[in-house]
């Protein structure tokens, strides 16, 4: 099932996407409500071109990101391949939905993109074993770990540079886990103004989702609705020759096999 959060005629909905239509769930206000009670029926269809997409999970307790999880991305920056997952956080206030604007703040001239597969937790837990990871996953979605590279370099850490408002686009929808046969065998790409930037497969992830969930949950209790962004492959703007950064008016897209295409414009 493809699940989208959206606004229509001033009201918020959560619903199922099928083709070019959204079908709101009756009596379900958001994704957390959906996890608690499911959906018993759907309301009338709404054309997708009439809705404003919102982040599929609007208020996650945590957004946990993974650094250098594709060996070729570590190589392009001249960094060592890590021997254990490197995790950092983005704040929920950075979320924005499909077709929403990524706002370029005055603090940066080096606005970059990172196509990533995001995992959404459906059942929380502590000390989750890798072999049990699947029962804790609700589904998957496209994610763009937007980064202000000059801020990142100045701060010498990642949180502020990756948590400006609108720096966490995701969607267009969440695809439930039953629709994805193997999250570790998906084509992942990004496009800037229709030009291919990143082109890889999730099979190249250094630390796969079971390992990430086990590693993170040893230290941090995972909760329903938490988002884990699993890292980006090579081809980001800062390490290209010459570097390529996003500018107002540009369109950035992230596409992962089976998850649709996330599209955002820079403003």
Segment 33-61, tens digit of pLDDT: 999 988 878 888 999 999 999 999 999 99
Angstrom distances, CA of residue 54 to CA of 41, 168, 224, 225, 226 = 21, 12, 18, 15, 16
pLDDT, residue 29, reads 85
pLDDT, residue 47, reads 98
Phi first, then psi, for residue 215 (nearest 5°) are -60, -50
Sign of CA dihedral 149, 190, 91, 122: negative
pLDDT, residue 224, reads 98
Q: What six digits make up the tokens of 203?
A: 């099979």
Q: How far is CA 113 from the centre of its chain?
A: 12
pLDDT, residue 39, reads 81
pLDDT, residue 35, reads 93
In angstroms, the CA 116 to CA 229 distance is: 6
Tabulate helix, strand, coil % of the chain (nearest 5). 20, 35, 40
Low-confidence ranges of the chain (pLDDT < 70): none
């Amino acid at each position: 099932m493809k699940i989208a959060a959206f606004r229509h005629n001033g009201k918020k909905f959560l619903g199922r996407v099928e083709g070019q239509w959204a079908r709101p769930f009756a009596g379900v206000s958001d994704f957390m409500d959906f996890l608690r009670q499911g959906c018993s029926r759907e309301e009338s269809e709404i054309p997708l071109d009439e809705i404003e997409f919102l982040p599929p999970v609007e208020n996650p307790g945590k957004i946990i990101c993974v650094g250098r999880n594709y060996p070729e991305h570590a190589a392009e920056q001249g960094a060592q391949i890590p021997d254990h997952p490197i995790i950092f956080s983005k704040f929920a206030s950075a979320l924005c939905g499909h077709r929403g604007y990524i706002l370029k703040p005055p603090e940066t001239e080096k606005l970059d993109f990172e196509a990533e597969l995001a995992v959404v937790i459906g059942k929380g837990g502590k000390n989750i074993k890798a072999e049990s990871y699947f029962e804790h996953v609700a589904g998957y979605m496209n994610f763009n770990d937007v980064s202000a590279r000059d801020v990142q370099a100045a701060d010498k850490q990642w949180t502020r540079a990756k948590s400006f408002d609108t720096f966490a686009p995701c969607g267009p929808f969440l695809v439930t886990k039953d629709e994805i046969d193997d999250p570790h065998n998906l084509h992942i790409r990004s496009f800037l103004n229709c030009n291919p930037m990143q082109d890889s497969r999730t099979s190249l992830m250094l630390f796969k989702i079971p390992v990430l969930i086990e590693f993170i949950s040893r230290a941090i209790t995972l909760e329903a609705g938490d988002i884990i962004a699993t890292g980006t492959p090579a081809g980001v703007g800062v390490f290209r020759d010459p570097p390529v950064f996003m500018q107002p008016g540009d369109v950035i897209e992230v596409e992962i096999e089976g998850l649709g295409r996330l599209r955002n414009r820079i403003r």
